[in-house]
Structure 1
Amino acid sequence: MAGGDFRPVYHPAGHDNELRVAVQDLRTGRWLSMAHLLGRTDGWGLWTQRTQVLAAVAAGSDVVQAWRAEEPHSVAASVMHTRVVVERAVRAHRARHPRTHELWQEAWAACRDAAELSPADPVPWVCLLALALLDEHRSMDEHRLPPPGLMLPPGPWGMLAQADKRDPHNREAYHRMLQFVCAGTPGPLTGAANFVHWAAGSAPPGSAVHVLPLYLSIERYRRERGQEKALDLHWVAEDAVRDAGHALDTWFRYADLRRASPLDLNHLAHALWGANRFGEAARVFDAIDRYWTTLPWAYRTRDPADQELAAEVFLRARSRSLAGRD
């Protein structure tokens, strides 16, 4: 696998074989595999992860609407409807679409309905956290609540607490919160740094929350527009090396890698490679296998929109790390 014939593959499902089948069926307009998959999904963490991936695929079609029409009393179909309308609202906001406010209102109502229909499910609250990003001026009271700790910024802490109560340290909930904090910080990301270290400080071994500091490091790098520097000190700075080691020791060593987010694995491999910890990075590349993600590798290129350039960086990092294996 280390030879020149190795080719990385991008797929949103990563190593989740069952999810890959459901995604393939979704792309052809069929919902039955999705319904069966969600019906046998155990654990809120995996439920959150799978519904997020499925919604990103389904948002461009009416396949979930067809499922709801066929099974109007299905709780899973209602949750997926919520996921889809939230995804559409977020995309509309990103594209500055004129219907953004209308879609936002529809998505907000769907979240509230899903929270009532499935009160133990963290996903409606995760979705509300995703919609909080659309409130750019922080005009809603729910989005500027006082924080639970010192040095943390105001924000949608009530929504995070509701998700946390249902699935402690839910990966997507904490990522949505980080996105909210970063979006409200045009300058130095001090509040975001305080948040990720506060979050990781209480997370148990094996929790993906321990990977959050690596995402913040990428965001800092992106804002500094540091691309393809011959000697990039960002990744060998003391805090970057420490955060990479922390994620390795507290997440990777304990996590069920078959269910790990491909993004988390790629961020950890990237951080260890950047910190010149090649032998440890090689172990993470082994776990990634062929299922790479364009981020964070794209930010190490001259054109982050060019997937081929990102793949070249991934392959270069992988080759160097495997060569440095202990």
Structure 2
Amino acid sequence: MSFLSTRRKASRIVLELDDVHLGKLLKSLRTTTRSGAIASTDLRVVQIADFLKHPSQDWDRHTFRLAVLAHFLAETPVPSRWAEREPDSATALALHAWSEVFRARATGNAEGASRASTNCLRAADLAPLDPTPWIVLLEIARLERHRAAETFYVWNELLLRDRWNRDAYLSMMRYLTPDEAGSRLQVLEFVDSLRSRMPVNAPCAATELTSQVLHYQSIRTRGGVEGLMARAYWTDVYVTAALDRASQHWTQPSFLSHAAALADLNTLAYALMSADRHREALPVFRAIGGAVTTWPWRFEGDPLTAFQRAQGRAEAGR
């Protein structure tokens, strides 16, 4: 990522963030779809299979690309068609399973979760070092509210394959929230344990800040006096310390090098603006360079509009 330019770039929702090769694939997939070709599904399968045919051991990048593609293709027959054509491809099976999870969350219908679990277990057998099937299994455990013992078994298998995987920690943190299977205390204990042992620039570095933004938004959702006083949450000494650490380090050149770094910078910009630390948010917006993520901005309405409004306030210093 380039953090040196001060020129504001046009903001837009960017699924691929700064992954140029993934961005080219998504553009090609959109073009194929718009062409209306009779065999457009098969053409897209070929495009994706060619793009992912040589998965590297950079599991962070591999996970990110599969997550983006699973979300992008969730409402299409492409993932299932690829899995049918290549039933011995761990990547095809994992992509199909992850797309089923995205579809289930979008529709509230989890009937495809059983099939997704089967695909994940098959993928795990085919590619025993790949953490991706286990990430999807963790998502399924959350979706179906599995017992803690089953969920932590998946979690431990995942960490054996990729110790600091961003999706893994964010998913487990959400599993431990009161909205799912845990409590606020469990989230705090999880974050404290992570902070004490992870590298400061690990792919999962934003887990703590993400948990704080989620909690802030949950307070606002409650409404009433508590909701009106939600801004005071950012004055808590522990919350302030987390913001201080992120604000000090994350925009330094090459400090964050993982695939979803721009997504974490969006989270930081949102948190700083929510805490009325507008001047500190300005270099973060510059580092983002216009690559907007839907979360956490969608909490404020249209995410692109919310981002642009916050960016304008940061530039005005108010």
Tell me if both proteins adopt one fold, taking TM over 0.5 as the criterion: yes
Shift of 1:33: 3.2
| Structure 1 pair 6–313 and aligned structure 2 pair: CA distance change class (3 A) | same
Quote the residue 1:123 is aligned against: 132
Q: Is residue 239 from structure 1 mapped to residue 238 from structure 2 by the alignment?
A: yes
- Report matched runs for 1:154-303 at 5 Å: 156-183=151-178, 189-225=184-220, 232-249=231-248, 252-253=251-252, 254-256=255-257, 259-299=259-299, 301=300
Report the TM-score when normalising by structure 1: 0.79
The 3 A distance-change label for structure 1 pair 71 and 215 is same
Q: Given that residues 240 and 271 in structure 1 are in contact (C-alpha distance below 8 angstroms), is that contact kept between their aligned partners in structure 2?
A: no
Counterpart residue type for residue 144 of structure 1: A
Structure 2: runs of 5 or more not aligned: 34-40
Q: RMSD of aligned C-alpha atoms?
A: 3.1
CA pair 183-55 structure 1, distance change in 2 beyond 3 A: farther
Deviation at 1:45, TM superposition (A): 0.5
How far the C-alpha of 1:71 sits from its partner, in A, is: 4.2
| Higher mean C-alpha deviation, range 19-28 or range 221-230 | 221-230
Give the CA deviation at 1:297.
2.6
Query: Would you say the 8 A contact 1:160–1:174 is kept in 2?
Result: no
Deviation at 1:177, TM superposition (A): 0.6
> Structure 2 length normalisation: TM-score?
0.81
Residue by residue, what CA displacement relative to the aligned partner does 1:84-142 show, whole Å, maximum 9, x if unpaired?
233334444xx2x3xx3x42211111111111011000011111110111333x4xxxx
Number of aligned positions between the proteins? 296
The answer to whether structure 1 residue 316 and structure 2 residue 309 are counterparts is yes
- The answer for unaligned runs of 5 or more in structure 1 is 146-154
Partner AA of 1:55 in structure 2 = A
Q: Using a 3 Å threshold, how does the CA distance of structure 1 residues 318 and 41 change in structure 2: closer, same or farther? A: farther
Which residue is 1:75 aligned to?
90
Indicate the SS of the match to 2:233.
helix
Structure-to-structure mapping, 1:96-111, within 5 angstroms:
97=109, 100=110, 102-111=111-120
- In 2: Cα distance, 1:103 partner to 1:127 partner: 13
* Higher RCO (C-alpha 8 Å, min separation 6): 2
In the alignment, is the contact (CA less than 8 A) between 2:220 and 2:228 conserved in 1? no
Range with bigger deviation, 63-72 or 240-249: 63-72
Tell me the distance in 1 between the aligned counterparts of 2:298 and 2:113: 30
CA distance in 2, matches of 1:223, 1:186: 16
Name the counterpart of 1:148.
Answer: none
1:23 and 2:26 matched: yes
